[in-house]
Structure 1
């Protein structure tokens, strides 16, 4: 079994879901008392979001590069970042370590291809929606990406940062999110990506008729496949 390197804290809620998913997945695949071999570096989300707001991406990169180097030094065979927004500095992280760094957008695009999904609705933070670094990478994988109506972008951001990162699950927010999913489906999407990890707290595949891909689940499955290959 390979050792999985996680860069977490963005938010700690989603990082906990990655950690739980990896350990449950190893136990399901191997049985008995098996658990995942994980090295995690957890960063401070408040510090990163402050730097993001100031457009200080060099400083964001320095923090995540240090985290990647720490998990590599701890024996990780590859790295997965428990975030989507901060893949903005993916190239800097890749250049700083000698072990593979998985890109969640590549994993999501591959999963869409596997499920024969050609057009996906894209739900994430405002920054990730308004800047195309993540959606464009999915598109490069052969998948058309439909963004939500701009009127919904700040709503999504508020749900993520004011509620879900604190594990606050508001029924009215669930209804609003499901309405956005329905709009994307009506607009031609044959699948929806929950490309902010916390959104999986609100929408489950059984809640809607359109296929829903949860970033955490896809990332966990890919990491397990690699670690246990």
Structure 2
């Protein structure tokens, strides 16, 4: 079994979901007392979010590349960023280490293609939806990517940052997100990517008819495939 390197803390709720799902996945695949071999370093979410909002991406990259090197030195065989938004600096992190980085956008794009989809939608933080770093990477796999209209970004962003990163699950917020998913389906999306780990805490496939692609779930499954190959 390979050792999975995790850069977490963005948010800790997201990191906890990664850790839990990786270990449950190994237990399911191998049985008995088997658990995942992992190395995790966790950054201060408040610090990197403040730098993100100030557009100080070189400083964000410095923090995350240092985290990546630490995980590599601790024995990781490959690296995962437990976040969508901070994949904005994934290329810098990957360039700073000598182990592969399992890029989240590549993973979700391949999952959408396995479902023979041509158009997918991304639902996540305002930053992830309004910038091109993540959607362009998905589109490079031959997919068309749409996002909600700008006037709907704040509602989803508020739910993520004011509620979900603090572990708060609210039924009215669930209805809001489901409404966005259904609107994206009406606009031509064959599936909707839950492009923020915390959204998977709120919405399940049983809540909607359109196929949804949970980033954490898919990222974890891809990591397990590699670690246990």
Provide TM-score, normalisation by structure 1: 0.99
Note the C-alpha offset of 1:82: 0.3
Note the C-alpha offset of 1:106: 0.4
> In structure 1, what is the Cα distance between the partners aligned to 2:107 and 2:191?
15
Gaps of at least 5 residues in structure 1 are none
> In structure 2, what is the Cα distance between the partners aligned to 1:173 and 1:160?
10
Partner of 2:134: 134
Partner of 1:81: 81
> In structure 2, what is the Cα distance between the partners aligned to 1:156 and 1:134?
17
Ranges of 4+ aligned residues in structure 1 off by more than 3 Å = none
Greater shift after overlay, 214-223 or 112-121? 112-121
> In structure 2, what is the Cα distance between the partners aligned to 1:137 and 1:212?
19
Partner of 2:121: 121
Q: Deviations over 1:200-224 (max 9, x none)?
A: 1111011110000000000000000
In the alignment, does 2:168 pair up with 1:194? no
In the alignment, does 2:64 pair up with 1:64? yes
Aligned residue for 1:39, secondary structure, equals strand
Aligned residue for 1:76, secondary structure, equals coil
Gaps of at least 5 residues in structure 2 are none
Provide TM-score, normalisation by structure 2: 0.99
Q: Deviations over 1:46-65 (max 9, x none)?
A: 00011111111111000000
Partner of 2:44: 44
Structure 2 matches for 1:125-204, cutoff 5 A? 125-204=125-204
Aligned residue for 2:122, secondary structure, equals strand
RMSD: 0.6
Aligned residue for 1:156, secondary structure, equals helix
Partner of 1:20: 20
> In structure 2, what is the Cα distance between the partners aligned to 1:27 and 1:208?
29
> In structure 2, what is the Cα distance between the partners aligned to 1:208 and 1:91?
34
Aligned residue for 1:51, secondary structure, equals helix
Number of residue pairs matched by the alignment: 229
> In structure 2, what is the Cα distance between the partners aligned to 1:129 and 1:207?
22
Q: Deviations over 1:120-172 (max 9, x none)?
A: 11101001111110011000011111111211101111000000000101111
Greater shift after overlay, 144-153 or 24-33? 144-153
> In structure 2, what is the Cα distance between the partners aligned to 1:205 and 1:113?
18
Note the C-alpha offset of 1:6: 0.4
